[in-house]
A and B are shown apart, each in its own frame.
Chain A
Amino acid sequence: MHLIKCPWCGERAEMEFTYGGDGTLTRPADPEAASDAEWTDYVYFRDNPRGPHEELWQHASGCRRWIKVRRNTLTHEILATGPADRPLEGNAS
């Protein structure tokens, strides 16, 4: 079971969190103006990297904040965590 560092609550058990998918997506600011390709990328297309991946998790049983987690999908190492409304510190790999 993972140990995930909530940026506010500290290191907590994975069971307190829910997974929220790819954390690298940004909703197009003006969906009306977005091309079908851009929109499809946003809604459907996801990378499935072997290695570091930026993910969204919600500290659902804790402070209910959405957070970003950079996790190695191969080894389950958690490389960085931070608030969801800004870029994670450090490099993606």
Chain B
Amino acid sequence: MVEVLPRRSALEGALEAGTFGAGGTPGLTLSERRRLAIVHVAGDAGDPAFTDAVRGRTGLDLPIEANTTAAGNGRTILWLAPNRWLVVCDGEESAALETGLRDALGSTFAAVNDVSQGRTVIRVAGARAPDLLAKGCPLDLHARAFPTGACGQSSLAKINVLVHSVDRGADGGTDAPILDVYVARGFALSLWEFLTDGAGEFGYTISPMP
């Protein structure tokens, strides 16, 4: 039943595809990653039953090191805390992922929560992407400090965010970074307004809705 219901993004109506801001070659592209399945998993990283169950369901090893991610099979696991992770899948049904993880964990002490609709994911891509986020985020987003695969939670425009360094470009440098910003749904529009206002200086493109 739910499959036929369209999910309405917090940015519905706010995303207007086109090129905006200063003239010249746009310095970055803004878009929203929609219809992601995002599941919050809490558990004991030292408990093999827990880590095995997550690996069994996702095919990925939980990233144990802080501020790192694991990716493969169209899935990404992002480190949140020593006992918390986000499992993110594109093209998978979130309820199935949640149930699958819960079933795989069985009676293991863990907590699984579907948070797909409580998070909005804004993709900021392009050479000036780190400069845009640096307008309101104290994280060091330089490629040396925040390479491909890194993630970090911080504050952006006074809003709590999780930033995922998806790709730092071919040379691993500042060529064409792709940064995903995870934000609580209620703040998504406010953050979008901050980002689009701040991006004017660089010139930016908003990608059409997928």
Chain A nearest CB from B49 CB (Å) reads 23
Please report the total number of B residues contacting A with Cβ < 8 Å.
Answer: 13
B81:A61 contact, CB within 8 angstroms: no
Instruction: Name B153's closest neighbour in chain A (CB-CB).
Output: A62
Count of CB-CB pairs between chains A and B under 8 Å: 39
Range class of the A interface residue count: 10 to 19
Roughly how many angstroms separate A63 CA and B80 CA in the complex, as a whole number? 6
A15:B82 contact, CB within 8 angstroms: no
A16-B80 contact, Cβ under 8 Å, with A9-B66, A9-B67, A10-B66: no
A15:B138 contact, CB within 8 angstroms: yes
A8:B138 contact, CB within 8 angstroms: no
B66:A61 contact, CB within 8 angstroms: no
Contacting residues of chain A (10-62) with chain B, CB-CB under 8 angstroms: 10, 12-13, 15-16, 60-62
> Chain B interface (Cβ within 8 Å of chain A)?
66-67, 80-82, 84, 138-139, 152-155, 160
> Chain A interface (Cβ within 8 Å of chain B)?
8-10, 12-13, 15-16, 60-65
